[in-house]
Structures are given as C-alpha cells and as structure tokens.
C-alpha cells in the first residue's frame, strides 16, 4: 500500500504558492463570472444596482476568493478523510507499518545459544546500565466506531544525579524523516503534524523509589524474574507476561551488557519463544527474531545477535478483527529501543 502521506501530498489541491488564494488579480474565467454577477439583470428594478458597482465588485471578489478557499479546504478535508477512513469502495487506510519480513534460516539461532553469547560478551565488558530510555513506537489506536490509525512517536526519558527526570515525547516516524506524520489531539483525534512536533515535555521532581521498575534490575535470571513479577504485580509470568514485563523494563531502563544477558537467559529458560530467523528492524539494525504465537496475535522479539540486547518488540494480528476494522497482518504495536 502506498504511503498515505505521499498520497496526501500528491492530492493536495492548494500548494503553498497557489495564486488563487493570494491578493493578485483574478483569472479570466473568474473575471467573467464576476462581471456577470455585477452587471446581470437586477433582482429589484427599483434598486440602483450600478451606483455602488465598485464597492460591490470588491465585496464579490472577496466572496469569490472565500468560496474558492472553502472549496479547496473541503477537498483537502475529503482527501484526509479518505486516507484515514477509506472510501466507500476501498478498505480502511491504516497508517501502519507492514509486519517485518523475517528471513528464515535453515538452522536459526536458538535463544539459549544467544544467551551464552550475551553472557560471554558481558564478561568482556560492555555498556553499563543507565536509568532512562529512548524508544520509538508505532501504536494502533482502535475503536468500534472509527477505522484504526497508527500514531508514530518518539519518547526520551533522562534522569539526573539528584533524582529528577525529564520526559520528551514527539511525533515522528524514522522511516520517513522530515515528512509530516499523524499526531493526536488531546481528545484523541488524529491530525497531521510536522515531523518532530512536541506532544509533551515534562519535568518530574526527585524520586527515589526502590520498587520495580524504578529500582535497578538484577543481573541474574532468577532474581530478574522475581523483579519483573513484582513490577507487573503478578505472582507468575507466562511468555506473554514476560514480554509485557520486558517492554515495561526497557521503557524505564537502558540495559547494560550484564542486565541484557540476564534478560535473554530468563527468556530462554521460559521456553515460550521459538527462533524464526534473521530480520532487519525498523531502524535498519540487523537482528534475530524470536516469536510467540498467541490467540489472534503474534509477538516477535528482535535481539542483537552479538550482544543479546533487545532491539524491538512487534505485535501483529494473525486473525481479522472486524469489530475494530483490522485484518490479519496489521501491526498492532511496535517498539524500538536505542541507547
């Protein structure tokens, strides 16, 4: 499916330099219409129509331009509606990325062997744990009365030594840098905004909570499981629960080498993820994919094959959901974490 923003730009009937809405002279056709309006048969014979011809001419000229502006705005509105909502004979246009294509290997790398690699890499050193995160996400907004749209966002959280934190959220899509993207109003209505549009900027006072996920994660698999269970308020975590807890962890911490190794060992010991093959994530990074098939959805974890660092997590529908106007293959959510 062609990129909907490209379609919108090509369909734009009012480019920024269009002369029709400026202050210059009207075109020949408009002048003829204007003359007909000014000098046509009067509606009231006893009214001195021509006496105020010059002021009327200016008023009509303004009305003609206003009518053109309204018509052009209506075309743009219809174009945006068609892109977001789909026409009567087309499927709803979902502004969503396609599922990542996995290159299946004859012998994909098992997760326990990847955990071995990560542990060896951590023993040789590597990046340190850092509180805060840098995550890019594409999340599908769904309702039972409107077609779904995907809102791309970038979120950066940084902590200072005195316990304060800042959170910056912007509307951006790294697949198409510099292009307008879908943003969201406070009431949840999607609208086009400029790339890098600031959605929110917050500064939080000092916080010294020792409860997960605010406290530092452990560096071994057994203690990390207990940490994630506490963070998720669950006595036990199945594979989907572990993946949710992984996302929660990475939304708060940028893991170091030892913490990444512990996380991959925990996921390998769980046994619920199967190796699927090689994949390139949405930021162009090579990785290995590990998949969990649930009821109606597929969860795919993308991992750096050299270090064990989690690069991304994709959730895709595997069955149609007509009540929400989504189809099998639509991406429900995607997260990509960076340092």
Same domain, 122 and 79: no
Q: Which residues pair with 254 in a beta bridge?
A: 130
Residue 35 banded pLDDT, cuts 50, 70, 90: low
pLDDT at residue 226 in the model: 97
- How many whole angstroms separate alpha carbon 224 and alpha carbon 127? 19
Tell me, yes or no, whether 231 lies in a domain.
yes
pLDDT at residue 39 in the model: 52
Same domain, 216 and 290: yes
Q: What DSSP line would sit under 267-327, residue for residue? A: HHHH---EEEEEEE-TTS-EEEEEEEE-SSEEEEEEE-TTT--EEEEEEEESS-BGGGTB-
Residue 65 banded pLDDT, cuts 50, 70, 90: very low
Same domain, 18 and 68: yes
The Cα-based distances of 267 to 53, 70, 105, 121, 238 in angstroms read 82, 57, 21, 17, 10
pLDDT at residue 33 in the model: 54
Same domain, 36 and 79: yes
Q: What is the mean pLDDT of residues 302-322?
A: 95
Q: What is the pLDDT of residues 134-193, one digit of tens each?
A: 999 998 888 777 788 888 999 999 999 889 999 999 999 887 888 888 877 766 677 888
Backbone phi, psi, residue 75, to 5°: -65, -45
Least confident of 36-50, 64-78, 131-145, 164-178: 64-78
Residue 82 banded pLDDT, cuts 50, 70, 90: very low
Tell me, yes or no, whether 122 lies in a domain.
yes
The Cα-based distances of 291 to 77, 120, 305 in angstroms read 40, 24, 15
Mark which of 51, 69, 85 sits at the end of a domain: 85
pLDDT at residue 335 in the model: 96
Same domain, 121 and 233: yes
Tell me, yes or no, whether 234 lies in a domain.
yes
Least confident of 14-18, 56-60, 322-326: 56-60
The Cα-based distances of 36 to 29, 32, 40, 69, 109 in angstroms read 11, 6, 5, 21, 78
Whether the model clears a pTM of 0.85, i.e. scores above it, the answer is no
Tell me, yes or no, whether 180 lies in a domain.
no
SS3 165: strand
H or E stretch covering 148: none
Same domain, 329 and 233: yes
Tokens of 280: 């390139």
Q: Is the pLDDT assigned to residue 71 strictly greater than 70?
A: no
Q: What is the pLDDT of residues 251-307, one digit of tens each?
A: 999 999 999 999 999 999 999 999 999 999 999 999 999 999 999 999 999 999 999
Tell me, yes or no, whether 241 lies in a domain.
yes
How many domains, in total, are found in the chain? 2
Instruction: List CB contacts of 60: < 8 A, sequence separation 6 or more.
Output: 34, 37, 38
Name the CA dihedral angle for 138, 143, 144, 147, rounded to a multiple of 10 degrees: -50
Same domain, 144 and 288: yes
Same domain, 235 and 115: yes
Q: Is the pLDDT assigned to residue 59 strictly greater than 50?
A: no
3-class DSSP string for 79-122: HHHHHHHCCCCCCCCCCCCCCCCCECCCCCCCHHHHHHHHHHHH
pLDDT at residue 219 in the model: 96
20 or 226: whose pLDDT is higher?
226
Q: Which bin fits 86, alpha (ψ -120 to 50), beta or left (φ > 0)?
A: left
Tell me, yes or no, whether 175 lies in a domain.
no
pLDDT at residue 60 in the model: 38
Tell me, yes or no, whether 261 lies in a domain.
yes
Tell me, yes or no, whether 249 lies in a domain.
yes
Cα–chain center distance at 13: 27
Same domain, 266 and 119: yes
Same domain, 21 and 65: yes
The most distant pair of C-alpha atoms in the chain lies apart, rounded to whole Å, by: 100
Range of the domain at 22: 4-85
Q: Is the pLDDT assigned to residue 26 strictly greater than 70?
A: no
Tokens of 253: 């911490």
Quick one: angle between helices 239-250 and 257-270, nearest 10?
170
Same domain, 79 and 143: no
- How many whole angstroms separate alpha carbon 38 and alpha carbon 17? 29
- How many whole angstroms separate alpha carbon 129 and alpha carbon 159? 13
Q: What percent of the chain has pLDDT over 90?
A: 52
Same domain, 251 and 126: yes
Of residues 35, 32, 38, the one with CA closest to residue 53? 38
């Amino acid at each position: 499916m062609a990129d909907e923003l490209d379609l919108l730009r090509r369909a734009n009937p009012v480019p920024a330099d269009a002369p029709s809405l400026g202050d210059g002279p009207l075109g020949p056709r408009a002048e003829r219409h204007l003359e007909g309006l000014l000098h046509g048969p009067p509606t009231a014979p006893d009214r001195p129509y021509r006496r105020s011809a010059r002021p009327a001419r200016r008023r009509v000229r303004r009305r003609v331009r206003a009518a053109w502006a309204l018509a052009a705005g209506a075309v743009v509105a219809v174009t945006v509606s068609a892109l977001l909502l789909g026409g009567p004979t087309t499927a709803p246009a979902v502004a969503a990325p396609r599922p990542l294509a996995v290159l299946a290997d004859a012998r994909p790398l098992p997760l326990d062997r990847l955990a071995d690699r990560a542990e060896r890499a951590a023993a040789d050193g590597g990046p340190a744990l850092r509180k805060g995160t840098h995550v890019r996400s594409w999340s599908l907004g769904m309702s039972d009365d409107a077609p779904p749209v995907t809102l791309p966002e970038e979120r950066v959280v940084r902590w200072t030594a005195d316990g304060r934190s800042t959170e910056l959220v912007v509307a951006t899509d790294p697949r198409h840098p510099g292009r307008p993207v879908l943003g969201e109003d406070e009431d949840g209505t999607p609208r086009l905004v400029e790339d890098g549009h600031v959605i929110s900027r917050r500064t939080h006072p000092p916080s010294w909570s020792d409860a997960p996920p605010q406290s530092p994660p452990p560096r071994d698999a057994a203690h990390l499981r207990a940490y994630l269970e506490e963070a998720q308020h669950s006595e036990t975590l199945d594979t989907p629960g572990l993946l949710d807890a992984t996302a929660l962890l990475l939304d708060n911490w940028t893991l170091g080498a030892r913490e990444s190794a512990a996380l991959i060992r925990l996921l390998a010991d769980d046994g619920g993820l199967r190796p699927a093959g090689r994949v390139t994530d949405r930021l162009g990074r090579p990785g290995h994919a590990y998949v969990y098939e649930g009821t109606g959805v597929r969860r795919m974890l993308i991992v750096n094959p050299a270090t064990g660092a989690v690069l991304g997590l994709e959730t895709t529908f595997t069955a149609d959901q007509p009540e929400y106007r989504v189809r099998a293959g639509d991406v429900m959510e995607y997260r990509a974490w960076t340092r």
